[in-house]
Structure formats: C-alpha cells, structure tokens
Structure 1
Amino acid sequence: MTSVAIGPTDQLDPRLLEHRRELTGYCYRMLGSAFDAEDAVQETLVRAWRGLSDFEGRSALRSWLYRIATNVCLDQLSGRQRRALPMDLSGSPWQPVEHSLAARRPGTAWVEPVLDRQVLPEDSDPAERAVARESIRLAFVAALQHLPPRQRAVLLLRDVLRWKADEVAQLLDTTTASVNSALQRARATLSGLGGAPEPRPLDADDRDLLDRYLDAFERYDIDAFVRLLHEDATQHMPPFEMWLRGASDIGAWMLGPGAGCRGSRVRAVDANGSPAVAQWRPREGGGFEPWALHILEVADGRVAHISSFLNLDNELFRVLGLTVDPEAR
C-alpha cells in the first residue's frame, strides 16, 4: 500500500495511521474494490490530517475517522453502477473455448479481491476475527453492492463493526429510528440474496486441500486438479464476462485456452477470508509474469468455486502488495 501523498510520513499524527487497516477494510466492503478502498483511505487520512487541529477531541478519534471515511465512500459511490461478479450478470455458463474471451468489461465493473493482511486486524479476539473474515468473502461483498450506499454503511457499522444504533445515527446525521429502519431493509435484501455469512474456521482439511490444489496446478496435472473440484464447480475470470460450470469444463479450459498456464509458479495466500493462490505464468523468452489471484470457495472437502482475477493491467498485484518475482517472499 502506498503512503499518504501529503508529504513525509513523519508529518502525520501516528494516531491516524493506527486506524489505516480497519479503515481499509470498511472502505473495501463499502466499495467492493481494493483499488477504490486504497484511494478512499488516502483521501480520508488527507482530510483528517488537514482537519486535525480543529478536531480538538470533540468525539472519539476513531468515530471521527469513520465519519470522514463514510462520507468519502458515499461521494465515490454517487452515480456509479454497482460492481458485480460475472455469474451475477449471466444465467447460463459459457463454453470452454477461446471465443468466450470476446466479452470483456472494464475493471470498474467487477467486485475485486483483497488480501486478508490488508484489512483484517492482527490483534483482535479470535471470534471477532472470524466474523471479520466472513464479512470480506467475495459472495458477501458482492451482495453488499446490491444495497443503496447509506443502507450499506448502516449494515456494516451495525452488524460487522457492532456500533450502537445511536452511534451510527450520529455518524450519519440522522435519527436512531432511521438507522433501525435502514438496517431492517438491508437485512431483508441480503436475506433474499442468500443471507449474511456465518463464521467458519479454515480447518486442517481445507489446508490439505489447498496444498493438493497447489501441487496439481504447479505440475499441471489436470486429472488430479479436476478430482479436487465438485462435479458442478464453477469458475469466473474477471475482467471477462465468461464463467464456467462443471469440473470437466474447467479442466477442458485449462487444457485448451488456458494451456499457457502450464509451468506456472503458485503460492498460497489468504484473500477475502478464503484460501487463495497467487500465480505467476511463464513468460515467453524466460522468467515469469504475475498473472492471477485465484480465490477458492471450499465446501465438503472439495473446491466449489474459483474466482480467478487476472492481472492483465499489472495493477492487481501492485495494489495487493504481491511480488513480481514468484521466488520473493
């Protein structure tokens, strides 16, 4: 992550930087984009730095920062189309053929990934961390984008951050009754989209599955890879609109249009509260290029869904803080 663009870091009050990670998590959930969250937190800290001399402790510093961050996010969301995932846009899966790559949308159309280390608190209670992990899962972040921005803020502040209704009302300059009404509507919308996530630990079996996934991918043993997937597993690959359904079609894709991934280097990371795989693909002429981040949804001991975010503009790995060199740590 980059530093605040207002001069040397030592000009900032250290108290502002203490809240950077949790503000990034909040802005990410609001905006559905690590890129936009980075910008929003930068702007929040800039505004706070400029207004710190007038703040004078009229409220808790953390509450004040969340007020600024909320306003920054609401400004960013004004007039924007909601971000989505490819499976939200098309009811039918695509064929595992090259022509399926013809339909593509700009990065601003898609919900984007984030690494756990960028947004999850390091020293929180294990139960709180489990809730925080679930609240950054891709399906939940995508569902949040269906909510009007102020409802989104209310739900996050109340149900994820556990603020009291009167505290949220003060932050949003509204009434407690309005906050409770907005929360009720937001919960109803999410319920219709599958409901709020339930905290679920990543157990030893999941870790073993991830190790076998990494091994099969790096050896490019597609038979072994397919055996790790549910029969009706799905995969999508933003910025392309296409998505695939069925382990056999995913395998066919990897042996067909995706065959350039043979010989890749892969490494396990934690992203969006889920097991994930960073991939560096062989570069023509030698070496490797940062290629994709694959986020896995695991159910009943197999991979149920793969979200493959391609690094086509070389910005994804930068904003996620992933290395260009697969051997670097």
Structure 2
Amino acid sequence: MTDLATQEDLDSRLERYRTELTGYCYRMLGSAFEAEDAVQDTMVRAWRAHEKFEGRSSLRSWLYRIATNVCLDMLSAGNRRARPMDLSAATPVAEARLTTRPELTWLEPVPDGRVLASVADPAETAVERETIRLAFVAALQHLPPKQRAVLILREVLAWKAAEVAELLGTTVASVNSALQRARATLAESAPATTDATDPLDAEQQALLERYVAAFESYDMEALTALLHDDAKFSMPPYDLWLQGHDDIVGWMLGVGAVCRGSKLVRTTANGQPAFAHYHPSDDGTGYTAWSLQVIEVRDGRIAGIDNFLDTERWFPLFDLPRRL
C-alpha cells in the first residue's frame, strides 16, 4: 500500500505540470499531436528516473529539462512546420490551384485548454495566449531548436538566464548570446499583431456575430465589410493562400461556393476565436464536419481566416462532433 500510495502521489505531482509542459512543447514543435507525444514521453522518463532525481532543482525544472531534450531530439531531423504564407507568395484567385503537401509540413492548431495553464496574473495569461497564436508559433519555427528553447524559456516563461543555462548544460553567456540571436531573427520575420480576445469585448463579440451571420447567409457584401483590405485566407493541407477581400470573396463565390448553406459553431484555438465549420450533408439530414476556422482579429476587423481541413484529426482533438 505504501508503494501504491507513493506511485499515486508521484503521478499526481507529475500531472500537475502536464498543461504547461504541453504549451512549451507545442511552441517548440508547432504540432499539437507531437507536443502531446513529447509530454507523454517526458512523463514516462520522469517516472522511470524519479529515484535518481536528487532534488538539486525543483521538480518543475527537472521536467522542463527532460521535455527540452525530448523536443530537441524530435527536431533533430531539421523539419520545421509552417503556414502556407511562409512557403510562397499569395496567389491571385484567377490562378488558384489546390495542391496538397504532407501533414508534417503544416503548423497545427491546438485547443486552448490543452496548452494554457491557469495562472492568477492577468499579465502572464496575456503572454501565454499571445505566444500560442499561429503567427507567433510560426515565427518561432524560423529559429534553430536551441535558440527556440532559450527564447521560450526566457521571454515566454520568464526563466532567469542562470536557470536556462543550468537546464541546457551551458553558460549564462551562451544563453544571453542565443537570446540575442533569436530576437534578431524574430525581428526579421516579426508576427503581425492581433487584438487581445480574452475575454471578448462587446465590439469583438459583435464582430464575430456579424461574421457568423454573413458566412451562414453567404452574404459576400456583408463579409467584405468585416475583412481588412489585406486579410489572409489559407486552407492547409493545401499550400494555396489568398490575400485581400476581393480574392477571398472571389474564391468563396467560385470553388468555395460549396460552403453555401454551412453552419458555424464557436470554439477557441491558439488563444484566438475559432469556429467548427459544418457543410450541409449530402443526404439532407444535417451537417457534416468540413473545417476548423481560426480567426485573427486586428483593429476591430478580421485580418485572417485559417481553415484546417483535416477534420478527422482536428474535430476529435477539439471535442467537436462530426455531425450536427
């Protein structure tokens, strides 16, 4: 019974850090599924090696050291995940072609609840949400893995340079140098800013309600009024992306006209508003899953609509039904 009680206590102590570790691994890897795999691997390694843990650092620091090594091993192949706009220029709607790329190409969405730990400080909450945005995580992918780890630990999680040096088995000078290089790289590909949406204010709530009404009624004039002139529209796993409300509406009225009559259901992803998009069923008895839409809001209008089409992966992850 004593051994069982000790095991249950260890399991409970490890589980306390699962959400924040998943957020860390997601920022490192850009994949919700790989992040969960990395955290599970971290927990197994910690459980097996716990008797060797000498308590010279906190359990949290020890877990982050293990998680960092797991992520660095996973990133050793050199692959970095991206958004369509990281790979090519925008395509005019008249030249649009749908070409798929392998799953491992794409930055993946993640449910807020899987990666956002509960913290009391509103400023910390704001940083957490800001740094899981698709645009921010995509920018992180431009960094070499160790620089990525340093920047996340120092800038996002607010670790001291000495703590990061101990975790990585290096010097404070090396950590500071890596952080400077990481900042310089990010400055060259700085992610566009978006409005804070936690919680949604009355104006943002009204904007999203108008978006749902315009989309469900397929009112392209109303939709255009909600979009920034340079709004972006993407559809992974297709590498096509469009920019500007004229091309977006042109797509919606052309190939995208199959979306007419759809329904949207609110959810959240990457600290941003999101919708489960359902198409009318072929048999006319309801609606079937079509995409997960992640919405970027800037200065009171919609700046981006990212449509993730692999609903067999995304809807179960977000606890969304496949049919309405």
Fold equivalence (TM over 0.5): yes
Could you tell me which amino acid in structure 1 is paired with residue 131 of structure 2? Answer: S
TM-score between both structures, scaled by the size of structure 2: 0.91
Equivalent residue, structure 2, for 1:187: 183
Q: Secondary structure at the match of 1:78?
A: helix
Q: Which runs of 5+ in 1 are unaligned?
A: 1-8
Alignment counterpart, residue 129 of structure 1, candidates 125, 129, 144: 125
Shift of 1:160: 0.2
Q: Secondary structure at the match of 1:87?
A: helix
Equivalent residue, structure 2, for 1:247: 245
Could you tell me which amino acid in structure 2 is paired with residue 40 of structure 1? Answer: A
The answer on whether the counterparts of 2:135 and 2:192 sit within 8 Å (CA) in structure 1 is no
Write the deviation string for residues 79-137 of structure 1: whole angstroms up to 9, x where unpaired: 2321111111112424267x611x11011101111122211122331111001111011
**1:30 and 2:28 matched:** yes
Distance 1:168 1:56 in 2: 19
Write the deviation string for residues 254-296 of structure 1: whole angstroms up to 9, x where unpaired: 2221222222221122211222212122221233222211111
Equivalent residue, structure 2, for 1:175: 171
Q: Secondary structure at the match of 1:277?
A: strand
Q: Secondary structure at the match of 1:305?
A: strand
The answer on whether the counterparts of 1:190 and 1:196 sit within 8 Å (CA) in structure 2 is no
Q: For residues 91-130 of structure 1, what are the structure 2 equivalents within 5 Å?
A: 91-95=89-93, 100-101=97-98, 103-130=99-126
Equivalent residue, structure 2, for 1:227: 225
The answer on whether the counterparts of 2:135 and 2:191 sit within 8 Å (CA) in structure 1 is no
Q: For residues 37-56 of structure 1, what are the structure 2 equivalents within 5 Å?
A: 37-56=35-54
Provide closer, same or farther for how the CA distance between residues 107 and 12 of structure 1 changes in structure 2, counting only shifts above 3 A.
farther
Provide closer, same or farther for how the CA distance between residues 298 and 150 of structure 1 changes in structure 2, counting only shifts above 3 A.
same
Equivalent residue, structure 1, for 2:158: 162
Equivalent residue, structure 2, for 1:309: 308
Q: Secondary structure at the match of 1:91?
A: coil
Could you tell me which amino acid in structure 2 is paired with residue 161 of structure 1? Answer: L
Distance 1:196 1:124 in 2: 27
Distance 1:191 1:203 in 2: 30
Distance 1:158 1:32 in 2: 18
Equivalent residue, structure 2, for 1:6: none
Could you tell me which amino acid in structure 2 is paired with residue 251 of structure 1? Answer: V
Q: Secondary structure at the match of 1:289?
A: strand
Distance 2:48 2:286 in 1: 45
The answer on whether the counterparts of 1:84 and 1:111 sit within 8 Å (CA) in structure 2 is yes
Distance 1:220 1:196 in 2: 28
The answer on whether the counterparts of 1:32 and 1:145 sit within 8 Å (CA) in structure 2 is yes
Q: Secondary structure at the match of 2:110?
A: coil
Provide closer, same or farther for how the CA distance between residues 27 and 197 of structure 1 changes in structure 2, counting only shifts above 3 A.
farther
Could you tell me which amino acid in structure 1 is paired with residue 245 of structure 2? Answer: A
The answer on whether the counterparts of 2:30 and 2:138 sit within 8 Å (CA) in structure 1 is yes
Provide closer, same or farther for how the CA distance between residues 27 and 321 of structure 1 changes in structure 2, counting only shifts above 3 A.
farther
The answer on whether the counterparts of 1:144 and 1:190 sit within 8 Å (CA) in structure 2 is yes
**Identical-pair percentage:** 58
Residue correspondences, number? 315
Q: Secondary structure at the match of 1:268?
A: strand
The answer on whether the counterparts of 1:229 and 1:304 sit within 8 Å (CA) in structure 2 is yes
**1:82 and 2:80 matched:** yes
Shift of 1:73: 0.5
Equivalent residue, structure 2, for 1:238: 236
Q: Which runs of 5+ in 2 are unaligned?
A: 1-6
Deviating more after overlay: 61-70 vs 194-203? 194-203
Provide closer, same or farther for how the CA distance between residues 236 and 58 of structure 1 changes in structure 2, counting only shifts above 3 A.
same
Write the deviation string for residues 196-226 of structure 1: whole angstroms up to 9, x where unpaired: 9688454331221111111222222222222
The answer on whether the counterparts of 1:168 and 1:179 sit within 8 Å (CA) in structure 2 is yes
Distance 1:92 1:65 in 2: 41
Provide closer, same or farther for how the CA distance between residues 219 and 130 of structure 1 changes in structure 2, counting only shifts above 3 A.
same
Q: Secondary structure at the match of 1:232?
A: strand
The answer on whether the counterparts of 2:93 and 2:248 sit within 8 Å (CA) in structure 1 is no
Alignment counterpart, residue 140 of structure 2, candidates 144, 147, 158: 144
Distance 2:36 2:318 in 1: 10
**1:73 and 2:71 matched:** yes
Distance 1:240 1:153 in 2: 29
Could you tell me which amino acid in structure 2 is paired with residue 213 of structure 1? Answer: Y
Whose helix fraction is larger, Structure 1's or Structure 2's?
Answer: 2
Distance 2:97 2:289 in 1: 23
Equivalent residue, structure 2, for 1:58: 56
Could you tell me which amino acid in structure 2 is paired with residue 34 of structure 1? Answer: A
Could you tell me which amino acid in structure 2 is paired with residue 65 of structure 1? Answer: L
Deviating more after overlay: 295-304 vs 166-175? 295-304
Q: Secondary structure at the match of 1:315?
A: helix
Write the deviation string for residues 284-317 of structure 1: whole angstroms up to 9, x where unpaired: 12332222111112122211111111125x1122
